[in-house]
């Protein structure tokens, strides 16, 4: 392997490491943002201290994850330029607008109001504080919109033309709205949102279930679980629907990716849906698997007999890495289905009045937060690996997208640096999250008193 190819390979690994770390935080915070709006809204409406106790506690968790999200997010933005300069030159005209919009509309909104949410409890009136909470949640959602738009453009480019600029070919915008609403944008944004809501809801479920098992903060935990269960139940079904729509879009615009998702080899035949299996790429089949015949054809087109172009309809040089795409995709789907069962099982028991009586179920909820977090990562891995060998579908190969000015040696240095720093940060994050959870929310009465004291202090100052 020559130095340039090694530099690209290491840059890919570095991107995977840094995005995987970064992507722990924003989805949890998008979901948590929605729940914060609900919790604080109930407090404003009912005046019950337990809701304020919830909002205060979860805002602190939000703040911790936001700090890590900002620090690791800046890395993502810089990396396009540092490690993927050819890519940046090629897409800057198209992709950059979305990124700039993200900065100016989303990040400023989120970070500006987060200071108020975290530190402003005693400084502004409850309704102003609630407004700030809504703005933070909106900001979190907006940031996801723009970045997913940019990424969707890489999957299904639209609204551009190729232009020779200063001796180099690049994509230039011809229609901004076609870029924003490219064929896969809406499906993928809604899929990412429901995934994030699910993650936030399961984080709350996990901590609340833990408190119930330890018999601490019981009212806080029970009320929190109810709100989170409603969100989880809704989001898990939405996840299924948006996932299905995304799949249909992939079938239309990226058929070879769909074929890799299901390891469907035959060039032109009806395709089944594997529940699990191990694709045998040499022999063009799937080993140790169970398949529902005709199901993929049915999902894509509504008829089990519809022919779906398989991997063999394409040159193997155009195939994504089938094994990795198949496994990450199926693991994601499997986890998603389990989460639907878990959410609706919880709702059913709540309806029967026995939700809090089953200790084993509470233990399941404690660890279930890993489910959506893992599924979110696996989903992105299958989406991004499934796009290979392209970085921009049909236009720019990943192999040609790197930085000619960056030798492999430099990427080794930064990659090792990131691995060490992120390992340390992850350990610290888990440690501090655990501290926060063990410390628990302040007592509702104490929180009230504190607030009253704060108001009189403000009054005195004025």
Interactions with other proteins, residue window 150-169 (CB under 8 A)? 163, 166-168
**Stretch in the footprint of other proteins (CB under 8 A) among 46-54, 119-127, 201-209, 342-350:** 119-127
The residue within the footprint of other proteins, chosen from 29, 53, 88, 152 (CB under 8 A), is: 88
Residues between 40 and 69 that touch other proteins (CB under 8 A): 60, 64, 66-68
Find the shortest distance in angstroms from Cβ 77 to other proteins. 5
The residue within the footprint of other proteins, chosen from 6, 71, 337, 437 (CB under 8 A), is: 71
Pair of tokens at residue 444: 């509702």
Residue 405 main-chain phi, psi, to 5 deg: -80, -5
Cβ 189 vs Cβ 421: under 8 Å: no
Q: Which is nearer to other proteins, 247 or 444 (CB)?
A: 444
107 interacts with other proteins by CB under 8 A: yes
Find the shortest distance in angstroms from Cβ 315 to other proteins. 26
Cβ 261 vs Cβ 252: under 8 Å: no
Find the shortest distance in angstroms from Cβ 47 to other proteins. 21
Residues between 409 and 448 that touch other proteins (CB under 8 A): 410, 413-414, 417, 421, 425, 428, 432, 435, 442
User: Is there a cis peptide before residue 33, judged by omega within 30 degrees of 0?
Assistant: no
119 interacts with other proteins by CB under 8 A: yes
User: How far is residue 147 from each of residues 99, 248, 453, measured CA to CA in Å?
Assistant: 7, 22, 42
What ranges make up the beta strands (E) of 86-193? 160-165, 168-173
**Stretch in the footprint of other proteins (CB under 8 A) among 34-42, 100-108, 237-245, 267-275:** 100-108
Q: Which is nearer to other proteins, 169 or 305 (CB)?
A: 169
b/e 316-347 (16+ beta carbons within 10 angstroms → b): eeebbebebbbbbbbbbbebbeebbebbebbb
Cβ 251 vs Cβ 262: under 8 Å: no
Q: Which is nearer to other proteins, 176 or 367 (CB)?
A: 176
Find the shortest distance in angstroms from Cβ 121 to other proteins. 7
**Stretch in the footprint of other proteins (CB under 8 A) among 29-37, 76-84, 190-198, 202-210:** 76-84
Q: Which is nearer to other proteins, 290 or 428 (CB)?
A: 428
Q: Which is nearer to other proteins, 123 or 284 (CB)?
A: 123
**What are the percentages of helix, strand and coil residues in the chain, rounded to 5?**
75, 10, 15
The residue within the footprint of other proteins, chosen from 127, 405, 460, 462 (CB under 8 A), is: 405
**Angle at alpha carbon of residue 227, lines to 223 and 231, rounded to 5°:** 160
395 interacts with other proteins by CB under 8 A: no
Residue among 142, 242, 136, 246 nearest 194 (CA): 242
Residue 166 backbone zone (phi > 0: left; psi -120 to 50: alpha; other: beta): left
SS3 407: coil
Q: Which is nearer to other proteins, 36 or 332 (CB)?
A: 36
């Amino acid at each position: 392997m020559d130095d340039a190819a090694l530099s690209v390979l290491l840059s890919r690994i570095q991107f995977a490491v840094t995005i995987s770390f970064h992507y722990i935080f924003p989805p949890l915070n998008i979901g948590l943002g929605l729940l914060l709006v609900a919790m604080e809204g109930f407090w404003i409406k009912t005046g019950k201290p337990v809701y304020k106790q919830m909002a205060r506690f979860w805002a602190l968790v939000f703040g911790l994850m936001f700090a890590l999200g900002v620090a690791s997010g800046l890395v993502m933005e810089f990396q396009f330029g540092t490690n993927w300069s050819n890519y940046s030159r090629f897409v800057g005209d198209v992709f950059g607008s979305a990124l700039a919009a993200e900065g100016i509309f989303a990040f400023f909104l989120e970070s500006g109001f987060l200071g108020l949410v975290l530190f402003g409890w005693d400084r502004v009136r409850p309704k102003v504080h609630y407004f700030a909470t809504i703005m933070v949640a909106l900001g979190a959602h907006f940031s996801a919109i723009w970045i997913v738009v940019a990424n969707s453009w890489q999957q299904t480019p639209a609204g551009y033309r190729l232009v020779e600029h200063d001796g180099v070919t690049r994509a230039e915008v011809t229609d901004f709205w076609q870029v924003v609403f490219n064929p896969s944008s809406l499906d993928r944004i809604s899929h990412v949102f429901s995934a994030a809501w699910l993650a936030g809801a399961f984080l709350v479920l996990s901590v609340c279930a833990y408190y119930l098992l330890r018999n601490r903060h019981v009212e806080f935990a029970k009320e929190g679980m109810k709100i989170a269960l409603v969100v989880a139940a809704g989001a898990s079904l939405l996840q299924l629907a948006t996932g299905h729509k995304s799949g249909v879009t992939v079938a239309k615009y990226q058929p070879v990716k769909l074929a890799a998702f299901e390891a469907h080899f035959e060039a032109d035949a009806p395709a089944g849906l594997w529940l699990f299996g191990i694709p045998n790429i040499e022999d063009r089949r799937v080993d140790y698997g169970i398949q529902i015949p005709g199901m993929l054809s049915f999902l894509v087109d509504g008829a089990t007999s519809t022919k779906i172009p398989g991997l063999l309809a394409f040159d193997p040089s155009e195939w994504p890495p089938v094994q990795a795409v198949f496994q990450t995709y199926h693991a994601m789907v499997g986890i998603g289905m389990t989460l639907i069962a878990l959410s609706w099982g919880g709702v059913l028991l709540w309806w029967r009045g026995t939700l809090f009586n089953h200790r084993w179920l509470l233990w399941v909820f404690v660890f279930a937060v890993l489910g959506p977090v893992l599924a979110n990562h696996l989903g992105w891995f299958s989406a991004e690996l499934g796009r290979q060998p392209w970085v921009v579908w049909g236009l720019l190969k990943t192999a040609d997208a790197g930085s000619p000015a960056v030798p492999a040696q430099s990427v080794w240095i930064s990659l090792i640096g990131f691995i060490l720093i992120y390992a340390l940060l992850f350990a610290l994050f888990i440690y501090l999250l655990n501290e926060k959870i063990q410390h628990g929310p302040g007592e509702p009465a104490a929180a009230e008193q504190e607030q009253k004291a704060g108001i009189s202090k403000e009054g005195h100052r004025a």
